[in-house]
Amino acid sequence: MAEMGVALKEALQISGAIAVAVVDQSSGMALDTAGGSKDFDPGVAAAANTEVLRAKLRTMEMLGLKEGIEDILVTLGTQYHLIRPITGRSGKGLFIYLALVRDRANLAMARHQLRAIEQVIEV
């Protein structure tokens, strides 16, 4: 198991990573963040993306879908934003938010690496 801070630093090593956060889905608060800049606050982005996750969960409930969310991808002109719920017992109700520079990222590899980090993160 990887400590949260170590796991976030590992996520920042993903090609194209801008910022990463572990977020409490119920409150929208970032438990820990890494990366970012004066123009990109991962705490603000994580809180706002909590609404994206909640909206998808409500939609799935209305549709009667009994599946879990693997990840949510938001594609912007210059960035990718990944939202990945943490599925381990100690991470229930939490998710990882990762922002990537689109032209420097390999989306398939980023998803693969984020999945591996999510599986070993210790909350």
Domains of the chain: 2-122 (3.30.450.30)
Task: Specify whether the CB–CB gap between 24 and 93 falls below 8 A.
Answer: yes
Per-residue pLDDT at 1: 53
Q: Considering only CA atoms, give the Rg of the chain.
A: 13
Each residue's pLDDT, cut to its tens digit, for the chain (123 residues) gives 568 888 899 999 999 999 999 999 999 999 999 999 999 999 999 999 999 999 999 999 999 999 999 999 999 999 999 999 998 766 678 999 999 999 999 999 999 999 999 888 877
The 3-state DSSP class for residue 25 equals coil
Per-residue pLDDT at 55: 96
Between vectors from CA 41 to CA 40 and to CA 45, what angle results, nearest 5°? 95
Instruction: Look up tokens 């520079």; give the residue.
Output: 101
Per-residue pLDDT at 73: 97
Task: Label residue 18 exposed, middle or buried (CB < 10 Å: 0-12, 13-18, 19+).
Answer: buried
What is the DSSP code string of 79-115?
A: EEEEEEE--SGGGTTEEEEEEEEGGG--HHHHHHHHH
